[in-house]
Amino acid sequence: MKSSKEEPRILDKKQALAKAESFCVYQERSQKEVRYKLVEWGMRGYELEEILSELILNNFLNEERFAKSYTSGKFNIKKWGRVKIKQGLKLKGVPDKMLQKALYSLDDDDYQQTLENLAIKKAGTLNESNPLKRKMKLINYLQGRGFETDLILLALKASNLN
């Protein structure tokens, strides 16, 4: 018995291509995500590879564009650091070379300013009176957001939160 959530199997290559195109148009996708969807829709082997090639040729699927979009979105909207963004891109199957290119497309000044702003905002919410524990809580919070330890220490010093 099929559940109501289950996607009907698409056996026609043309239909799968059209559906994959609209899937890619909705938002930037990685090849791994599209491959997974195509398998879910019943595509296998040679047909699956043909559809992926077609999507790449028609510029519906572009791994570099996806990596840059993902990076800027996670940084600007969710305020993630490079470490956390890198983990997310690896999970999406982005090659290391494109991953590095996308990560370093972030502006260093904006990155540092965002880090300092997050530190100041978090420091305002901490009720810890012990300065060492307070600093450790700030560091742990910022590391959890994906920022590098050396940059965190610089940001705390610049914001007088030491």
The predicted-structure confidence for 96-141, as pLDDT tens digits, reads as follows 999 999 998 999 999 999 999 999 999 989 888 898 999 999 999 9
137 — phi, psi (to 5°)? -65, -40
Structural contact between residues 23 and 34, judged by C-beta atoms closer than 8 angstroms: yes
pLDDT score recorded for residue 11: 64
Q: Is the pLDDT of residue 6 over 60?
A: no
Against a cut of 0.95, is the pTM above it?
A: no
Dihedral in degrees, nearest 10, Cα atoms 102, 105, 111, 114: -70
> What does the chain come to in residues?
162
> Mean pLDDT across the stretch 53-65?
93
Q: How far is CA 42 from the centre of its chain?
A: 27
Q: Is the pLDDT of residue 1 over 80?
A: no
Q: Is the pLDDT of residue 5 over 60?
A: no
> Mean pLDDT across the stretch 35-55?
89
Nearest CA to 157 out of 107, 106, 110, 112 is that of 112
Longest dimension (CA), the chain: 66
Which is more confidently placed, 3 or 62? 62
